[in-house]
Structure 1
Amino acid sequence: MPNSLPANDLLKLDNQLCFALYSASLAMTKLYKPLLDKLGLTYPQYLVMLALWEEDAQMVSALGQRLSLDSGTLTPLLKRLETAGFVSRMRDTADERRVHIMLTAAGRRLKARAAQVPECLLAASQCSIDELVALTQQLRGLRDRLKMA
């Protein structure tokens, strides 16, 4: 919180960064829901697919680290994506505790249909691409600093 706020304003809801982030996240999820419903994905599943479209054939542990999800959250999500036919899971032959996640042909095809999602966000935000890139970088920086605190 900036030092310029009077003491009695420090705990006002509208002065809280956490609330601004939380309510923006809710608005984002609400915007994404109908778009992702058309793709047959939930928001967390969409994040997994984004990560796999960037780099296919990842280990579950690497995917969880990339998405900041623990295996208890990620495993059921991956099972549902596998049931939907978008990914396949394969145990490592050298170490059965390790599981590889790979896109299926259907999962790769889904990427073209998902291209509309960022376009809709851009239109709804009424921001330029440069503004959204800068905001994303600021939020990543904030996230990284908070993780180190």
Structure 2
Amino acid sequence: MTASPAETETDWLRLDNQICFSLHAASRAFNGVYRVVLKDLGLTYPQYLVMLVLWERGDLPVKKLGEQLRLDSGTLSPLVKRLEAAGLVRRERSVQDERSVRVLLTEEGAALRGRALEVPRRIIRSTGFDRAEIADLRARLDRLTNALDAAAATEAEDPRD
């Protein structure tokens, strides 16, 4: 026996059928694990993301840092200020363009990278996934993100009323 169209559409509105909720729940669960793992480093998860970009790319303008993290300046600026207060980064105005502020690692911030090397290992263990499963999941999530970005851009250009 097949479901009627009305039953199928009602099923679409079930919380446990929403991919967005599954991603939200997984994100919250990750944040819980990261909260514990990062406590030793004195970082929050968003601060850890800022540090990851700086460890990988070196000093960057705030704008570029925000692009990498998909954060607006209103969200990023307080994060950078807290990292600066902790002595891990410093901000420096560009001499070429005073509107541009670069974020640079301090010696202490650069040294923290060595202590952070254990974080990914602990997170991988926490997932219960092997490296191949994690690589596959990342690839699928990247594909999903790209598709959603494209859909959002299309919707912005041609919204259906």
Question: TM over 0.5, yes or no?
Answer: yes
1:46 pairs with 2:29: no
Aligned to 1:17: 19
Aligned to 1:98: 100
Give matches, 1:124-135, under 5 Å: 124-135=126-137
Alignment counterpart, residue 33 of structure 1, candidates 28, 32, 35: 35
Q: What is the Cα deviation at residue 12 of structure 1?
A: 0.9
Distance 2:127 2:36 in 1: 16
Q: Which runs of 4+ in 1 moved over 3 A?
A: none
Distance 1:94 1:54 in 2: 24
Aligned to 1:113: 115
Distance 1:144 1:86 in 2: 32
Distance 1:7 1:145 in 2: 23
TM-score for the superposition, normalised by structure 1: 0.94
Measured on the aligned residues, the alpha-carbon RMSD in Å equals 1.1
State the SS of the aligned residue for 1:100: strand
Q: What is the Cα deviation at residue 14 of structure 1?
A: 0.8
TM-score for the superposition, normalised by structure 2: 0.87
Q: What is the Cα deviation at residue 88 of structure 1?
A: 1.0
Q: What stretches of structure 1 of length at least 5 have no aligned partner?
A: none
Give matches, 1:52-71, under 5 Å: 52-71=54-73
Aligned to 1:84: 86
Q: What is the Cα deviation at residue 7 of structure 1?
A: 2.5
Q: Over residues 7-51 of structure 1, what are the superposed CA-to-partner deviations in whole Å (9 max), with x where a residue is unaligned? A: 231111111100000000000000110111111111110000001
Distance 1:131 1:116 in 2: 20
Q: What is the Cα deviation at residue 6 of structure 1?
A: 2.5
Larger radius of gyration: 2
Give the counterpart letter for 2:104 in structure 1.
Answer: M
Distance 1:137 1:106 in 2: 33
Distance 1:101 1:28 in 2: 27
Give the counterpart letter for 1:76 in structure 2.
Answer: P
Distance 1:123 1:112 in 2: 19
* Identical residues among aligned pairs (%): 47
Give the counterpart letter for 1:27 in structure 2.
Answer: A
Distance 1:46 1:124 in 2: 18
